[in-house]
Amino acid sequence: MGSRSIIEPFRIKSVEPIRMTTHDERKRFLEQAGYNPFLLRAEHVLIDLLTDSGTGAMSAEQWASIMRGDESYAGARSYYRLLDVVADIFGFRYVLPTHQGRAAERILFSSTCKPGDVVPNNTHFDTTRAHIEHVGARAVDLPIPEGRRPADIHPFKGNMDLDALDALIGEVGADRIPLVMLTVTNNSGGGQPVSMANVRGVRAICDRYRIALYIDACRFAENCWFIREREEGYAQTSPREIARELFSYADGCTMSAKKDGLVNIGGFLACNDEALAKQESRLLILTEGFPTYGGLAGRDLEAMATGLEEVLHEDYLHYRIASTAYLGRHLTEIGVPIVQPPGGHAIYIDAAAMLPHIPARMFPGQALVAELYLEGGIRAVEVGTVMFGSTDPQTGEETTAAMELVRLAIPRRVYTQSHIDYVHEVMGDVFARRERIAGLRMTWQSPPLRHFTARFEPL
Ligand SMILES: *Cc1c(COP(=O)(O)O)cnc(C)c1O
Residues 53-76: pLDDT tens digits?
Answer: 999 999 999 999 999 999 999 999
Q: Which residues contact 275 (CB under 8 A, 6 or more apart)?
A: none
Q: In the predicted model, is pLDDT for residue 142 greater than 60? A: yes
* pLDDT band (50, 70, 90) for residue 319: very high
Q: Which of 86-90, 186-190, 242-246 has the lowest mean pLDDT?
A: 186-190
The residues of the chain that CATH labels 3.40.640.10 are 60-310
Mutate to test the pocket of ligand 1, among 181, 256, 410 (most ligand atoms within 8 A of CB): 256
Mutate to test the pocket of ligand 1, among 51, 53, 253 (most ligand atoms within 8 A of CB): 53
pLDDT score recorded for residue 428:
97
Q: In the predicted model, is pLDDT for residue 3 greater than 80? A: no
188 CB within 6 A, ligand 1: no
Query: Could you identify the atom of ligand 1 that is nearest to the CA of residue 187?
Result: 13
183 CB within 6 A, ligand 1: yes
pLDDT score recorded for residue 224:
98
Residue minimizing CA distance to atom 3 of ligand 1: 101
pLDDT score recorded for residue 149:
87
Residue 175 DSSP class: G
CATH classification number, 23-52+313-458, choose in 3.90.79.10, 3.40.50.720, 3.40.190.90, 3.90.1150.10:
3.90.1150.10
For residue 53, report the distance from its CA to the centre of ligand 1, in Å: 8
Looking at the DSSP bridge assignments, the partners of residue 183 are: 216
For residue 102, report the distance from its CA to the centre of ligand 1, in Å: 6
pLDDT score recorded for residue 59:
98
Work out the angle at residue 249's Cα, subtended by the Cα atoms of residues 290 and 125, and round it to the nearest 5 degrees: 65
For residue 125, report the distance from its CA to the centre of ligand 1, in Å: 7
Span 34-41, mean pLDDT?
A: 97
CATH classification number, 60-310, choose in 3.40.190.10, 3.40.50.2000, 3.40.640.10, 3.90.1170.30:
3.40.640.10
* pLDDT band (50, 70, 90) for residue 2: low
Span 332-343, mean pLDDT?
A: 95
187 CB within 6 A, ligand 1: yes
190 CB within 6 A, ligand 1: no
Radius of gyration of the chain (CA): 22
The residues of the chain that CATH labels 3.90.1150.10 are 23-52+313-458
The Cα–Cα gap between 107 and 221 comes to 24
H or E segment and range at residue 367: helix 364-376
For residue 236, report the distance from its CA to the centre of ligand 1, in Å: 30
125 CB within 6 A, ligand 1: yes
User: Percent of the chain at pLDDT above 70?
Assistant: 100
Q: In the predicted model, is pLDDT for residue 1 greater than 60? A: no
User: Percent of the chain at pLDDT above 90?
Assistant: 93
pLDDT score recorded for residue 186:
92
Residues 177-232: pLDDT tens digits?
Answer: 999 999 999 988 789 999 999 999 999 999 999 999 999 999 999 999 999 999 99
Please give the torsion angle defined by the CA atoms of residues 44, 47, 50 and 52, in that order, rounded to the nearest 10 degrees.
130
Residue minimizing CA distance to atom 12 of ligand 1: 125
Span 360-375, mean pLDDT?
A: 98
Span 315-333, mean pLDDT?
A: 97
102 CB within 6 A, ligand 1: yes
Determine contact, residues 429/336, Cβ cutoff 8 Å: no
Q: Reduced to 3 states, what is the DSSP secondary structure of residue 279? A: helix
Span 154-179, mean pLDDT?
A: 97
Residues 276-307: pLDDT tens digits?
Answer: 999 999 999 999 999 999 999 999 999 999 99
Q: Which of 94-103, 160-169, 296-305, 389-398 has the lowest mean pLDDT?
A: 389-398
Residue 44 DSSP class: G
pLDDT score recorded for residue 448:
76
**pTM for this predicted structure:** 0.95
Average pLDDT, the chain: 96
